Amino acid sequence: EARIAAWNDADTDNIPVYEPGLSEVVAEARGRNLFFSTAVDQAIADADMIFISVNTPTKTYGAGKGMGADLKYIELCARQIARVSTTDKIIVEKSTLPVRTAEAVRDILHNTGNGVKFQVLSNPEFLAEGTAVADLFNPDRVLIGGDATEEGQEAMQALVDIYNNWIPRERILTTNVWSSELSKLVANAFLAQRISSINSISELCEKTEADVNEVARAIGTDSRIGSKFLKASVGFGGSCFQKDILNLVYISRSFGLQEVADYWEQVIIMNDHQKKRFALNMIKNLYNTISGKKIAFLGWAFKKDTNDTRESAAIYVADELLNEQARIRVYDPKVKEDQILGDLNYLQTRKPEENKENVKVFEDPYRACENAHAIAILTEWDEFKDYDWQRIYDGMLKPAKIFDGRNLLDAEKLRKIGFKVQAIGTA
């Protein structure tokens, strides 16, 4: 109820999710054709089409623990829809799901015994956090999967007609349900694979005096490769990439495809390695002891233009440094203290009181950096580039060090001020 109340806040700047352009969309549509309500049963009963958009987290128990998708929320939704519905409905899977999940949803819905008919479609979202509103208005493609039956084709056409109000028909792809479900997992796996690939090369660059940015530019101009997702960094995060790849690994193993599973699991292994080596490099360059040293973190969200911190690289870098008894000072323009401490407490590496004592969160970046031994750039917020770095340098302990985990800052400019700068993929 509290979350729905927040979505109904008179000031749309206070809605629970920060996303550029979202508050404006809510302000324009809320109360007209957009409603936030806790009356779920009534909404289900009234609807012709229902989108299922619940979390499908990685399982933390039982078979598939740590890899498989936990579908309990999907099943609960299906059972609630089956229980409440009195008229025929189209059910649209919007959540990212293992291939053939629609089979389970359909089985629940078709055994209600009340004569209601359901058509189940797959319509995965391909929005990127930070550009979600723009992506919705102008997507590369919309994917809709449905049955080959006459009823299935009619259901798909109904959803096509909705999107066709603002999206050209040629960008709306239709497939069978299973291809649609699998395509979402594969899309995220391919994107994450590119990040891990360039990150693996970044480590090689550091040993050979090559520059990963120059390498990325050189290969990115090849039209067969392209430049997107070739930005070396401390590692990818977010709610999707790791979860979906682990799901793909689990599905592959469940079908006995061990080599396929091993191939995709390596993307995750490389990402974990990148985060860990970034932290270990900081420790090494701070004379192999950071106990009691103040380390400023600029950024905590997994990427810029969002307040989402799920699987953020900052969490795992902080955890490594806290194991060495560092004192961490965090500034992120959109992430609050309770969220940051909650992320660390979730790892259960140490007691919550220890995290609270050793991690301080600031609303002013200059205060966060004051008397720090080093700064770590963990999120690529644009505002970081515009700071008064001379002022920051003057307030730090010397030698003042910057570890740029996003290759965001002008390293040469900072070195002229006096900083010692280490960036990803440069010697």
What secondary structure, in 3-state letters, does 69-112 show? Answer: ECCHHHHHHHHHHHHHCCCCEEEEECCCCCCCHHHHHHHHHCCC
Burial 264-295 (b: 16+ CB within 10 A, else e): bbbbbebbebbbebbbeebbeebeeebeebbb
Kind and range of the H or E element at 402? strand 401-404
Tokens of 102: 């629609």
How far lies 339's CA from each of 62, 309, 330, 345, in Å?
28, 8, 12, 10
240 is catalytic: yes
Query: Considering 19, 125, 320, 380, which one is annotated as catalytic?
Result: 125
Outline where DSSP puts E strands in 312-399: 327-331, 359-361, 374-377
CB atoms near residue 243 (< 10 Å):
22
What span, in angstroms and rounded, lies between the C-alpha atoms of 303 and 267?
Answer: 19
Query: Considering 59, 89, 184, 303, which one is annotated as catalytic?
Result: 184
What span, in angstroms and rounded, lies between the C-alpha atoms of 327 and 360?
Answer: 8
Outline where DSSP puts E strands in 13-88: 49-52
Tokens of 145: 């999967």
Q: Are 182 and 99 in contact (CB under 8 A)?
A: yes
Query: Considering 19, 240, 275, 303, which one is annotated as catalytic?
Result: 240
Tokens of 410: 């002008």
357 is catalytic: no
What residues pair up with 58 in beta bridges, in sequence order? 69
- Give the angle subtended at the CA of 399 by the CAs of 393 and 404, to the nearest 5°: 70
What residues pair up with 122 in beta bridges, in sequence order? 93, 145
77 is catalytic: no
Positions annotated as catalytic residues are: 125, 184, 240
